[in-house]
Amino acid sequence: MDDSEGRSHEGTRDAVTDGGSDDATTPDPEYVDGVDGSDLVATDPDSLSLTPAQHERLKDHLHGDRLTEIKYSDVRYLVVGRGGDDGPGERRRLVRDLLADRRDATAFMLEDFGLSGDQIDLWVPAFEILCAQATHVVGVLEDYDGGHVWELGYLYHEQSRVRDILWLLKRVYDDPDRGRDRYDNGMAAAHLAALERAAGDRVIEWRSESSLRRAVDEVP
């Protein structure tokens, strides 16, 4: 592990173990759509920290053997994309499992830490902490129908920080009309276009589960 990774880990641990500052300013309430900025405390313009109550609740989720495994793995993949029990969610979990099977690697998703839909105030700080832990952020995209659209928004805002570790596995469709229907979200499309420019040749297209598996093989 190099010194920069060590500093990143220390900063991440501080984000979970230290409470918010009483002198902090309130972030832009539109920082991430669906999260009330007045419920968050920002220590600087580029970071979200927690109120004391949120801090304690977040520690209940981001602790234990799972987080320890992430901290001490040489390669750490944060896998983002659509959740749920249907096809897209299953394929995202497939990507996580394929990456986690690699030697000296671990792969994880925000949902792995038990955050429920009624805890949206914790999603953003938890996602920020996990992004800081990751050596690779891997997006599995096949539509814009789901809560993962806000993850795209976060990555869009943070693209200067994640640009060098971001990989996008984007599904393409043989039927152009079907493709337009799946990606019919103007804001998310703009965010994805910016992320694709940032990722460059780390955008890998796939059409089926077999080609998705081959796409995963291209992620180092």
Average pLDDT across each block of 10 residues of the chain; the chain has 220 residues. List them in order: 40 40 36 36 44 83 83 94 86 97 95 77 84 93 77 79 90 86 78 86 96 97
Q: Roughly how many angstroms between the first and final C-alpha of the chain, as a whole number?
A: 17
> What's the pLDDT score for residue 30?
34
> What's the pLDDT score for residue 49?
59
Instruction: Give 158's strand partners.
Output: none
For residue 147, the Cα-to-chain-centroid distance in whole angstroms is: 12
> What's the pLDDT score for residue 68?
85
> What's the pLDDT score for residue 20?
38
> What's the pLDDT score for residue 57?
84
Q: Please answer whether residues 38 and 122 qualify as being in contact, where contact means their C-beta atoms are separated by less than 8 angstroms.
A: no
- Please report where in the chains the tokens 């920020």 appear, as a residue: 128
> What's the pLDDT score for residue 122?
83
Q: Which amino acid is at 64?
A: G
Q: What is the DSSP letter of 134?
A: -
pTM metric for this prediction:
0.74
CATH architecture label of 3-217: 3-Layer(aba) Sandwich (3.40)
> What's the pLDDT score for residue 201?
94
